[in-house]
Amino acid sequence: MTTTAPRPAVPINTIQVTEKAASKVRQFAVRDGRDHFGLKVAVQGGGCSGLKYVLELVDGPQDADKVIAQNGIEVYVPKRAFVFLAGTVLDFSDGLNGRGFEFRNPNAKRTCGCGDSFSV
């Protein structure tokens, strides 16, 4: 019988971006001709569960953004969104069940089937 080790918890004061997600972000930046970029990770009202995730390639952080450097990219999280995203893992899936960025958010009490919205 084999067991898998539990995933280590992401520190609550950060967001983890997997290497696979970071690689895909870099691919999008190259496709768009961006030399200097960061990934804005935010939330906004909407979606079927009340809040939805927002991902956007941007030139740099806003004054109130938390800046996190991981796997060769910078991630910018607005302060007011950070409370909803702290401890989240951003990954990328290209498996049979779908393709795209996936959020594993410990703060989400409910998510919708599409995985794009959540509630706390």
For position 114, which CATH number holds?
Answer: 2.60.300.12
Strands 73-78 and 65-70: antiparallel
Residue 49 has pLDDT above 70, yes or no: no
Report pLDDT for 45.
77
**pLDDT at position 66, please?**
93
The residue ranking higher by pLDDT, 45 or 13, is 45
Model confidence at 11, in pLDDT bands (50, 70, 90)? low
74 is a domain residue = yes
Instruction: Report the run of H or E that residue 108 belongs to, with start and end.
Output: none
- Mapped onto helix, strand or coil, the DSSP state of residue 58 is strand
Count CB neighbours of 53 within 10 A.
23
Share of the chain above pLDDT 70, in %: 73
Do the domain assignments include residue 11?
Answer: no
Bridging pattern class, strands 100-104 and 51-58: unpaired
Using alpha carbons, select from 100, 105, 111, 104 the residue that is nearest to residue 48: 111
Helix (H) or strand (E) holding 84: helix 79-85
114 within domain boundaries: yes
Q: Report which listed range, 1-5, 8-12, 58-62, is most confident.
A: 58-62
Count of structural domains, the chain: 1
Please report whether residue 7 resides in a domain.
no
Domain membership flag for residue 81: yes
- Per-residue pLDDT at 9: 52
What's the average model confidence in pLDDT over 18-24? 95
Pairing label, strands 16-17, 110-111: unpaired
Q: Determine, yes or no, domain membership for 48.
A: yes
Q: Model confidence over 51-100: pLDDT tens digits?
A: 788 899 999 999 999 999 999 999 999 998 888 888 899 999 887 766 78
The parent domain of residue 90 ranges over 16-119
Distance CA 78, CA 85 (A): 10
